[in-house]
Amino acid sequence: MKAALKVWSGRLLEALLTLWLLATLCFVLLRAAPGGPFDAEKAAPPEVQAALAQQYRLDRPLLAQYGAWLGDVARGDLGPSFQYPDYTVNQLVAQALPVSALNGGLALLLALLLGIPLGVLAALRAGRTLDRALMFVAGLGLAVPKFVVAPLLVLLFAVTLHWLPAGGWGEWRNLVLPVVALALPNVAYCARLTRASLLETLSAEYLRAARARGLSETRLLFAHALRPALLPVAAWLSPALINVVTGSAVVEQVFGIPGMGRYFVQGALNRDYTLVLGVVLVVGAAIVAINVLVDALRGWMDPRLRAATA
């Protein structure tokens, strides 16, 4: 118990340090970028610019701005948005994170539900036509980028067939195409990973011995091979989850989804310092949390890892 507490407190400290470094680096880079949040085609008169600078603390020395922002963050306040003054960054993130999580979570679920069975099927038919066909399609799914897949889906299912909306947010139908666009490369990767890992597992000594003892192929697969074969898939879950949950700016842009990716892109373009920093911090925290969760999952699947951590 004491050892576990030590491990977890160490991890927490490590996470906080990582987030602080991330935020500081991001703060410096943002402020080093030319152009300011209130630079516009029709610039406001000097007195208005001065009033805005005062409201957003931009009239203070940079170090003072950094200190004030860090103090606010420590109290859980990510500050006001420069671009969207009607909202605080907390409110924008609270609205966007569940959207990205829902979209990305469904995409990852779809990837696992399709990718694992396809990978297993390919491994069981290794070297045959079905295997080659599945891996060719998976290779294609990985090679074609999302900014090509997404418009193609729109063209086919929205513009031509009129089955689904081409974009927007508010109904379940709005989720279908973006989820598919996000899921496709992940399905492909998951299938390839499962196939490779399962093939390696099936050739292990203990399984050959089991097979020699007369164990059926089905029992061999589900009782002995699949769980260890899915360990690499579990390891991949961490970056995949981070990728889809934190939002894909391309997919969100194409389908008009109000998720984290769009806020990051818009925030950077508008020099909305607090919004970008807020998104980076929340995404950073999400990555840390996901890594911890996936480590726990891998530990549950592989007792050797659990023992090593302990």
Partner 1 sequence: MTRLSACLLWLCSSAALAQPALPGDLPLERGNGPEPATLDAHRCQEVACGNVLRDLYEGLVTEDAHGRLVPGMAQAWSVSADGRVWTFRLRPGLRWSNGTPLDAPQIVASFRRAFAPATAAPFGELFEALHNARAVQAGQVPPAQLGVAAPDTRTVVFTFDRSAPVPALLTLPIAFPVYLPGVARFGAQHTRPGHLVGNGAYRLAAWTPQANLVVARNPHFHAASTVAIARVRFHVTEDASAELQRFAAGDLHMTEVVPPQPLTSLRARFGDQLRIAPYLGAFWLGLNLTTPPLRDAPGLRRALALAVDRDKLTAHVTGLGEQPAHGIVPPGIAGYVPARTPWSALDTPAREALARRLYRQAGYSRRHPLVIELRYNTSTPHRRMALAVAAMWRQVLGVQVRLRNEEWKVFVGNRKQRVITQVFRGGWIGDVPDARNFLAAFGSDGPLNWTGYDDAGFRERLARADAATSPAARDAWLRAAEQRLLNADAVVPLYFYTSKHLVAPQVQGWHPNALDRHASRWLRLGSATPPAARSAARSAASPAARSTTGTAAP
CB of 210 to partner 1, least distance (A): 41
CB of 186 to partner 1, least distance (A): 20
Separation of alpha carbons 180 and 110, rounded Å: 8
Which residue, 92 or 230, has its beta carbon nearer to partner 1? 92
Write down the residue that tokens 């919004």 correspond to. Answer: 275
- Comparing C-alpha atoms, which of 288, 309, 289, 287 is closest to residue 298? 309
CB of 70 to partner 1, least distance (A): 23
CB of 282 to partner 1, least distance (A): 13
Residues that bind partner 1 (CB under 8 A): 33-36, 39-48, 51-52, 55, 80, 83-87, 92, 94-99, 101-102, 151, 154-155, 158-160, 162, 165-172, 175, 253-259, 262-263, 266, 269-271
The token duo for 169 is 């947010």
Which residue, 127 or 170, has its beta carbon nearer to partner 1? 170
What is the sign of the dihedral through the CA atoms of 100, 103, 106 and 107? negative
Write down the residue that tokens 């300011």 correspond to. Answer: 36
- Comparing C-alpha atoms, which of 239, 235, 244 is closest to residue 97? 244
Separation of alpha carbons 308 and 295, rounded Å: 12
Which residue, 45 or 214, has its beta carbon nearer to partner 1? 45
CB-neighbour burial class of residue 21 (10 A; exposed 0-12, middle 13-18, buried 19+) = exposed
What amino acid occupies position 291? N
Which residue, 125 or 266, has its beta carbon nearer to partner 1? 266
CB of 15 to partner 1, least distance (A): 19
Which residue, 30 or 240, has its beta carbon nearer to partner 1? 30
C-alpha distances out from residue 246 to 176, 240, 249, Å: 18, 10, 9
CA atoms within 13 A on the CB side of 106: 14
CB of 185 to partner 1, least distance (A): 20
CB of 234 to partner 1, least distance (A): 22
Which residue, 66 or 169, has its beta carbon nearer to partner 1? 169
Which residue, 72 or 131, has its beta carbon nearer to partner 1? 72
- CA-based angle 236:238:240, to the nearest 5? 70
